[in-house]
Amino acid sequence: MKRLDHLFFLLLILLVVACSYDKGLRLETLEKWGLFVDPIIGTDAHGHTFPGAVRPFGMVQLSPDNPVSGWDWSSGYHYSSNIIAGFSHTHLSGTGVGDMLDISFLPLAGTFEPESFREPSQYYVNFSHDDEKAEPGYYAVKLSSGIKASFTVTDRCGYHMYEYPQDEAVQLMLDLAFHQNRDKPLATWIRQITANRIEGYRYSTGWAENQWVYFSAEFSSRINNFYLIDGNNQVYSDRRELTVEGTEGTGAKAIIDFGSLNEPLFVKVGISSVDTQGARNNLDKEIGSRSFISVREEASDAWEQVLSKVKVKSQDTALLRTFYTAIYHACISPSLLSDADGRYRGADQKIHTAKGYNQYSTFSLWDTFRAAHPLFTIIQQQRVPDFVQSLLSHYRQTGLLPVWPLWANETNTMIGYHAVPVLLDAYIKNLTGDADPKEIFDAMKNSASQEIRNSPLYRKYGYIPYDKAKNSVSTTLEYAYDDWCIAQMALLLGKEGEHQYYMQRAMAYKNLLHPDNKLMQPKDSKGNWKEPFDPFDASYENDYTEGNAWQYTWYVPHDVEGLMEEMGGSEVFVKMLDSLFILPQDVGVDAALDVSGFIGQYIHGNEPSHHIAYLYNYAGERWKAQKTVNRIMLEMYNDSPAGLSGNEDCGQMSAWFVFSALGMYPVNPAGGGYDLGKPFFPYIEIDLPKGNKFIIHAQNLSEENIYVQNILLNGKAYGNPYILHDQLLNGGMIEYYMGSELVTQ
C-alpha cells in the first residue's frame, strides 16, 4: 500500500512538471484542474474553512479539529493552531457559528494509561503545517508523535489510514464527548459488534438543537483490547457497550488497542442521520472491500468533474489556485443528508425516504441565494432539482420553507425567507424537475405569511418599526426582495391578483429611504424617523443585520432603477456610490465580527455588500464597476491561508469570486441574467448541458488594461450591460476588447 501511495504522488509530481513551465500554463495540456485547489486557503484570518477531505456536496467532511473554542474556530480548525484533538466526520465550511465535529478519532502514541484520559490535554497532539497535505478529497498530516494520518471520503463515509512508527503499539481513541463552541453531546453510545467493527451514535445540541449522528466503523485489524470510558472518566475493560447520557457536554469514549501491527491501520466509517443500520449500509455500498487509494482516486475524479466545468487559461498560477479553490469551496454545501437507501431524518425529526432524489441540508440561504445558487444553475444543473425537492420537503414537514437548515434542524438564523429566490431562479431556468409549480408557489406564500420572525409587523406597517424589533431596516429590505420573487412566480402562473399584491409589498423599501440623506433609515411604529441616527453603526443590536445604513441602502436588487429615481436620479446615485467606497472605515466599537474586508464603507467580508460594485452599470458608469470589481478581486482574495477577507459562508464568498472572474454577477439572483463586469482570465470555457460551450475571450487583458473597450457576442456588437441566462446556456462566445482607457457608456 505504501508503494502504491508513493507512486501516486510521483505521478502527480510528474504531471505538474509536464503541465508547468515557469508560471506559464497551456489550457490544452492541463489534465488535472484539482492541482490548483488548495483547501488550506481560508483556514486563517476569518475565512472559517476546513482543510479536510470532502466530496462535492458530500455528507462527510473528514477533517482535523483543534481543541479551541472561539469564533475563528467555527469550522473546528484554524491555521493559527498547531494542536489536533481528533479527526471528526462533520464540519461546516466558512460559517460564523460553530457546530458539528461528530464522531472523532485520534491515533494514540504509546501504551494506554487510564489516568491520562482524565485530562484531554494529555493526549492531544502537536503538528506542523509543513507536514500537512490537503487536496480535493484527501488530507494527510504527520503528527509529532510520529504517526502519519491520511484520510479520504466517499459521499457518506470516511476512510482513515494510520501509519504508526515501527514496533509501536497501535491504539486509537474514539471520542464522542469532544465538542467546541455551541455543540455539546447529550447522549452517546458505543458498542463493539464484532472483532473488527464498532457502532454507536452521538446525539448533541447546539446550533442544530437535535442532531443525531449514527456511525458504523470497520477496522482492517482485529481488536486486541477494548476499553470504554464514561463521562466520569471511569474505565471499563470488561464491557463491550456503553451509553452516556443526561449530562450536557459529557460522552462516551473508547480506546481501541490492536497490539503491534507493523502495517497501516485502515478504518472505514459510515455515518447516518437515521440509525446504525443506515450507517452500516452506507459503508457497505460505498466502500465495501475497496482500497484506500481507489477511494481517494474516485474522490479526486468526482472533484475533477466539478472543476472541469470551467476551464481557464492564465500565466498566473496564484490566480489559478485562487479561482479553482473558489469553485471547490462553492461546491461543498449544501450537504447530502439522505442515506444510500434514501432514508433521512426530516425537519420534523421523523424518518422519511427521498424517492427519486437526494435530500440535502446545510443551506446557508441568507448567504448563498445571492451567487452560489445561481452559480449551481450553470455548473451543477443536475443537482438543482434535488436542492428544490430538499427545500420543498422541509416545507411539507414544517409548513414553512427553511431559513437555515442544518442536519435537518431549522436554526432560523439570519433574516428573510430566501428559499424563495432559490426556487424562483430554478423555476425560470427549468431546473425544478418533477416539482409541482403550484406547491412551490404555495410554499412561497406560506413563508411570506408566517406569524413569526417579525413578518406580521412587516405586513401591518409596510415596514418593520425599529421600536418593535431589532434589525428592522435590513429585514424589511430583504422581505421586500423575497416578495418581488413571489410576485414573479405569480405572474408566471397567471395569478395577476397575487402578482399585484406581492409587487406592492416589494416596494416596501421606499418607506425607509430618507428623502434628505438618501439612506435607508429606521422608522418607528408612528412613522417617525429614528433620531438621533448614526448611519455608521454596525452593532449587533442595531437596525441592520451585520452592517449599517451605508451597506444596506443598496439592497434593492429587484428595482435598482426605482431606487435610483427615489434617490433623485443617476447623478445622485453615482455620488452616493462613490462616497461608499471612500468614507472612513468606522462601523462603531460594537460592530459584528462579520463586518470585515473594508474598502471605505464597502464591506466585502459580509454578504450585503456583494452586489454593490455592479450597480454602477445601472447608472451608465460601467467603467467604475470594472475598476471597483478589479480592486475587490485583488484586495479581498489571494491563495494564502488568509486568502478570504471574511467568512466563506458555505460558498458565497467564493461564488462571488468565480462569477466576477468570469466577468459577470447576478445582482438580482432570480432575475434570469448576469450583470457584466470584466473577466480576469484571457480565455474561459464553460461546459454546458447538451454539449454546448460558452467561451469568454478577453483580448489584450493585462494589469493595466482593466477597462472594457468593446464587446462582441457571437461576432456581433453587444451593448447591453448584462447577459441573459438563456443566452449563456445556448453556448457561443463573448469577446471583450480590453484597454487602459476608461470608456463612458
Read off the DSSP letter of residue 246: S
CA distances 491 to 286, 334, 417, 428, Å, are 45, 29, 19, 11
User: CA triplet 468, 473, 479: central angle to 5 degrees?
Assistant: 95
Residue 83 backbone zone (phi > 0: left; psi -120 to 50: alpha; other: beta): beta
For residue 61, the model assigns a pLDDT of 98
Name the pTM for this structure. 0.95
Q: What is the pLDDT of residue 489?
A: 98
Is-contact 567 513, C-beta < 8 A? yes
Q: What is the pLDDT of residue 428?
A: 98
CA dihedral angle for residue 711, residue 714, residue 720, residue 726, rounded to 10 degrees: -140
Q: Show the low-confidence residues of the chain (pLDDT under 70).
A: 1-31, 745
Question: How far apart, in Å, are the Cα atoms of 99 and each of 93, 178, 345, 407, 695?
Answer: 11, 11, 18, 10, 41
Which residue's C-alpha cell is 455592479?
Answer: 614
Return phi, psi of residue 62, to 5°: -95, 110
Q: In the prediction, which pLDDT does 31 show? A: 67
**Residue extents of the structural domains in the chain:** 2-306
How many angstroms separate the CA atoms of 437 and 530, rounded? Answer: 42
193 sits in which H/E element: strand 184-194
Long-range contacts of 410-414 (CB under 8 A, 24+ apart): 410/347, 411/97, 411/207, 411/208, 412/453, 413/97, 413/207, 413/366, 414/365, 414/366, 414/367, 414/545
β-pair partners for 738:
708
Q: Does domain 2-306 have CATH number 2.70.98.10?
A: yes
Tens of pLDDT, residues 347-389: 999 999 999 999 999 999 999 999 999 999 999 999 999 999 9
Give tens-digit pLDDT for 494-549. 999 999 999 999 999 999 999 999 999 999 999 999 999 999 999 988 999 999 99
Read off the amino acid at residue 671: G
Identify each DSSP E strand in 432-523 by its residue range.
none
- The pLDDT of residue 30 is 57
At residue 24, the pLDDT reads 40
User: How many angstroms separate the CA atoms of 647 and 329, rounded?
Assistant: 12
Exposure string over 629-639, b if 16+ CB within 10 A, otherwise e = bbbbbeebbbb
- How far from the centroid of its chain's Cα atoms is residue 109's Cα? 35
